[in-house]
Homo-oligomer: A and B are copies of this chain.
Amino acid sequence: MSTGAHRGSPAGKAHQAEPWSTAITVTTDDRVFVRGVALDEAIGREAFPAMLLRLWRGDPATDDEAALLGACLVASIDHGPLSPSALVTRTIASTRAAPMSGLAGGILAFGELHGAVVSRAMRILATVPSEGGIDPWADEVFETERAAGRRLPGIGHRWHHSDLRAERLLELAAARSDGRHEAAVRALAARVRRHTGSPVPVNIDGALAVALTSLRLDPAYGDFLFAIARSFGLAAHYVEEQARERPMRTIDPTSARYDGASVPGFEALEEDE
C-alpha cells in the first residue's frame, strides 16, 4: 500500500451532513440582521434589553417587557468576590491566564447549586395549572422534588435571610402579568416553610423564573440570562484582581474585605469586629 494522499474521509463514508437552517441572524455585504432587524438601525434606537428579548423570543418587545428584562439583568449582575464563580475567575486572573479563560472558567462554576437554577425553576413553574388551586400543585411539586433528592429551586439562600432584589423583581413582574406565577412561587415557599419551620425567602432565582416566564421566554434561557448577566460581574473581578493584586497570590476568602463606597447596614458589621 502506498502512502500519500488518500481520497477517503477519515471517517469512512459516514460523514454526510444534512442541510440546516437558522432563523436568528443573516448577514449581507454591509449589514447584520438579527430576527429581521438591521443592527445598524437598532444601534442608538432600540434599548439593549429590547434587542435581547427580540433575539431570544423572536418577536418585538414592548417597553414594559424590555424594562422587566433589563431589571433581570440588573438583579443578576454581581454578588461579590466570594461566590464560587468569582473566586474561580479571580484565581485564573491571578495566574495571568487570558481574560477569556477567566470568564469561561467562572461560567463553568455555575451548576445545580449555584447559578444554573433558573431554568429548572421555570420548568417547574410552567406546570402550574392555569386555573384552580395552587396549593395542591405546590404540595405535589414539593413531594416530587424531595423524593428525587432535589432542592426546590427558587427558594432560600446560602447567605440571605430575605432578598430585597427578589421582592423588587416580583413587584415589577406582577405589574405585567396575572400574578399566577408569582402566587405559585410563593406557595412553594410557604410549603417549604411548613416543612422547615422557619421563613424562607423567594430568592433571586425564583423571582427571575417568574419574571422570565411572564416574558414568555423558553426556560432554556433562564440559566443563560443569569450566567451572562453575572459574567459582567466576573469581568469586573478579573480586572480588579489584576489591577490590585500580585500574580500567583494565594486567595483566602476569609481575609477578604470591602473597601468600596460606603453603604447602609455595613458599618454595623464593622463595629462588631
Query: In whole angstroms, what is the CA distance A8 to B268 when docked?
Result: 9
Query: In whole angstroms, what is the CA distance A67 to B46 when docked?
Result: 9
* Known contacts A8-B266, A12-B27; A95 and B113 CB within 8 A of each other: yes
Most buried by B among A9, A96, A220, A257: A9
- The answer to whether B40 and A167 touch across the interface, beta carbons within 8 angstroms, is yes
Interface string of A106-119 (1 = CB under 8 A from B): 01111111111001
What is the distance, in angstroms, from A145's C-beta to the closest C-beta of chain B?
Answer: 16
Set B42, B48, B264: member contacting A48, Cβ < 8 A: B48
* Known contacts A84-B91, A164-B40; A21 and B258 CB within 8 A of each other: yes
- State whether the Cβ of A143 lies closer than 8 Å to any Cβ in chain B: no
- The answer to whether A101 and B95 touch across the interface, beta carbons within 8 angstroms, is no
Query: In whole angstroms, what is the CA distance A55 to B245 when docked?
Result: 19
- State whether the Cβ of A81 lies closer than 8 Å to any Cβ in chain B: yes
Q: Chain A contact residues (Cβ within 8 angstroms of B): what range?
A: 35 or more
- The answer to whether B74 and A96 touch across the interface, beta carbons within 8 angstroms, is no
Most buried by B among A48, A79, A247: A48
Set B10, B22, B115: member contacting A22, Cβ < 8 A: B10
Query: Which residues in chain A, 1-24, are within 8 Å of chain B measured between CB atoms?
Result: 1-24
- The answer to whether B6 and A262 touch across the interface, beta carbons within 8 angstroms, is yes
- The answer to whether B249 and A43 touch across the interface, beta carbons within 8 angstroms, is no
- The answer to whether B92 and A84 touch across the interface, beta carbons within 8 angstroms, is yes
Query: Which residues in chain A, 227-251, are within 8 Å of chain B measured between CB atoms?
Result: 227-228, 231-233, 235-240, 242-245, 247-251
- The answer to whether A14 and B80 touch across the interface, beta carbons within 8 angstroms, is no
Query: Which residues in chain A, 144-171, are within 8 Å of chain B measured between CB atoms?
Result: 158-165, 167-169, 171
Contacts of A30 on B, CB cut-off 8 Å?
A: 160-164
- The answer to whether B10 and A82 touch across the interface, beta carbons within 8 angstroms, is yes
Contacts of A108 on B, CB cut-off 8 Å?
A: 92, 97, 100-102, 104-105, 108
- Smallest Cβ-Cβ distance to A151: which chain B residue: B247
- State whether the Cβ of A131 lies closer than 8 Å to any Cβ in chain B: no
- The answer to whether A114 and B263 touch across the interface, beta carbons within 8 angstroms, is no
Contacts of A49 on B, CB cut-off 8 Å?
A: 48
Q: List 16 A-B contacts (CB under 8 A).
A: A9-B254, A13-B272, A14-B158, A21-B256, A21-B258, A22-B260, A23-B240, A23-B260, A26-B258, A29-B265, A30-B160, A55-B236, A99-B220, A100-B227, A158-B248, A250-B253
Q: Which 9 A-B pairs have the closest CB atoms?
A: A36-B261, A97-B111, A23-B260, A17-B252, A40-B164, A1-B262, A224-B235, A8-B269, A104-B104
